[in-house]
């Protein structure tokens, strides 16, 4: 290949591609499981060729042994998986909100195949997950993902070891924030369900002969979904703002 590229250029392009491929395989919107892996890897290859003139000069020389070469590639893949995994973890807030709303509206038994997770989940959780992907692509939030990829070479340069402890702490904080956000987004339905269940219990105590739960179950579903629909815009905007806060250190 010396006629087309030197060994150093091939090594540098391979390192760039290793990190980009790991990130692209996981980031929301682009890295969804229903997108064929060949398409995602092709996109990562194109992005690696585009970023190579900018990032390539900072790549260290070619290692002297095969072991060091493999270690460098594995290190870049681990960094990419770490960044992509953290960006993917925040999507759990939508699934959490959907699960909570499903439980409060007695619809948790309704399961639908979730294309973003590859397994059946609550129907409302699947719906919110798809809404999240749509919001990511329509609001150009994926541009911040690309900016985070470029910024990652400043935060995690080639010559420094992987900060495993910091990455683990960041992952734990991201999971905690995502579950807290899911609880906050489902708060309107939770408050309604609490008031409705208390009122239903009081009516049942006052009128024991009246089959109150047969009457209130359809009302719970109807009113709960109505409140969920009315608060859907607020949930989407809140989720986008929090996602931008997560991306800001990388972008």
Any idea where the domains of the chain sit in the sequence?
A: 7-247
pLDDT tens digits, 90-141: 888 888 888 888 888 887 777 776 666 666 777 888 888 888 888 888 888 7
Phi, psi of 120 (to 5 degrees): -65, 135
Give the number of other Cβ atoms within 10 Å of residue 158's Cβ: 17
∠ Cα 42 47 48 (to 5°): 95
pLDDT tens digits, 26-68: 888 787 777 888 888 888 888 888 888 888 777 878 888 888 8
Per-residue tokens: 199: 């009122």
Number of alpha carbons in the 13 Å side-chain half-sphere of residue 28:
27
* SS3 call for 114: strand
- Cα–Cα distances in angstroms (integers) from residue 51 to residues 17, 161, 169, in the given order: 10, 22, 29
Lowest mean pLDDT among 113-127, 168-182, 198-212, 224-238: 113-127
Verdict on whether the full-model pTM lies above 0.85: no
Phi, psi of 111 (to 5 degrees): -110, 140
What average pLDDT does this structure show over 13-29? 86
């Amino acid at each position: 290949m010396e006629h087309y590229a030197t060994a150093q250029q091939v090594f540098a392009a391979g390192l760039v591609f290793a990190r980009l491929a790991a990130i692209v395989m996981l980031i929301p919107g682009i890295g969804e499981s229903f997108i064929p892996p060949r398409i995602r890897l092709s996109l990562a290859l194109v992005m690696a060729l585009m970023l190579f003139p900018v990032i390539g000069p900072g790549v260290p020389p070619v290692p002297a042994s095969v072991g060091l070469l493999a270690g460098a590639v594995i290190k870049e893949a681990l960094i990419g998986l770490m960044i992509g995994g953290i960006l993917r973890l925040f999507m759990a807030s939508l699934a959490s909100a959907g699960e909570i709303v499903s439980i409060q509206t007695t619809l948790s038994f309704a399961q639908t195949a979730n294309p973003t997770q590859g397994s059946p989940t609550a129907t409302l959780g699947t719906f919110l997950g798809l809404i999240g992907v749509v919001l990511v692509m329509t609001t150009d939030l994926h541009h911040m993902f690309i900016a985070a990829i470029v910024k990652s070479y400043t935060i995690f340069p080639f010559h420094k070891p992987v900060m495993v402890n910091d990455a683990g702490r960041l992952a734990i904080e991201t999971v905690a924030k995502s579950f807290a956000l899911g609880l906050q987004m489902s708060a309107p339905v939770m408050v309604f369900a609490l008031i409705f269940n208390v009122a239903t219990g009081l009516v049942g105590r006052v009128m024991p002969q009246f089959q109150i739960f047969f009457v209130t179950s359809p009302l719970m579903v109807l009113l709960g979904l109505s409140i969920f629909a009315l608060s859907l815009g607020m949930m989407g905007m809140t989720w986008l703002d929090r996602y931008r806060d997560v991306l800001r250190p990388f972008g």
